[in-house]
Amino acid sequence: MKRRTYLRAAGAGAAVGLAGCLGGGDANPNVSLSRPDRENDVSSEDLPYPAWGQQVPDVTLSDPIAGIEVSVRDIDVPHFHTYFFTNCMTVCPVLISALREVQIHSVSEGYADEVSFYPITFDPARDDADAFRAEADQMNVDMDAGNWHFLRPADESEAKSVVEDQFGVFFEKNEPDDEGNYMFTHLGLISLVNGDGYVERTYRGNQPDEQSLIDDLTALREA
């Protein structure tokens, strides 16, 4: 199955996300976690986004709060990505909340410097440093922990290139209402990536299990 075809089919079938934990392949020297179970023997190559054993894209995005550029392949600790926009009222708050719970666990258990969080927006027209700060306040993200970084493409074109074409996460801007407000149809996805830039787990859906995120991260940290 072609990755782009799968992307469009998955996006069209779920406005706010599709449930399931995905991965694929046989033994892979680039990852520490074992091959995850999945239906129909789908391989990582069949999926539109980087999955188990595959490397994340070689892209650099800005963290407007910290005023730095982040090369995602150079992140040298286990980390999570999700793909969102701050005006979302459906799946995005659930995705951010799930990662926040992992962050809380990392702080309370004393390993906050061993994991990091990099949500990537696909709405750079509205999501700037102020919007990210408001999102952090609303979602009770601990920005003082030093391990949370909201990432932003430069413009709409780069968002399409990075998020959809390279990270393989479908999103589509809906028609604005009479006041010019708009939303997105998009895939819900969280990615757990190791410190070498390879995906260990992907969690697709609008109800990610927070304990699964913590358990997989623990297994990765202890591998």
Question: Is 186 one of the annotated binding-site residues?
Answer: yes
pLDDT on residue 11: 43
pLDDT tens digit sequence for 159-187: 999 999 999 999 999 999 998 899 999 99
Question: Is 21 one of the annotated binding-site residues?
Answer: no
Whole-angstrom distance, CA of residue 189 vs CA of residue 135: 18
pLDDT on residue 38: 78
* Among the listed residues 140, 152, 160, 123, the one whose alpha carbon sits nearest the alpha carbon of residue 61: 152
Q: Place 26 in a pLDDT band, splitting at 50, 70 and 90.
A: low
Pick the more confident residue, 18 or 209. Answer: 209
Query: Using an 8 Å Cβ cutoff, are 175 and 182 in contact?
Result: yes
Backbone angles phi, psi at 209, to 5 degrees: -85, 110
* Among the listed residues 82, 76, 88, the one whose alpha carbon sits nearest the alpha carbon of residue 103: 82
| Domains in the chain, CATH or no CATH each | 54-216 (3.40.30.10)
pLDDT tens digit sequence for 110-130: 999 999 999 999 999 999 999
| CA dist 213 → 5, 45, 65, 200 (Å) | 28, 23, 26, 11
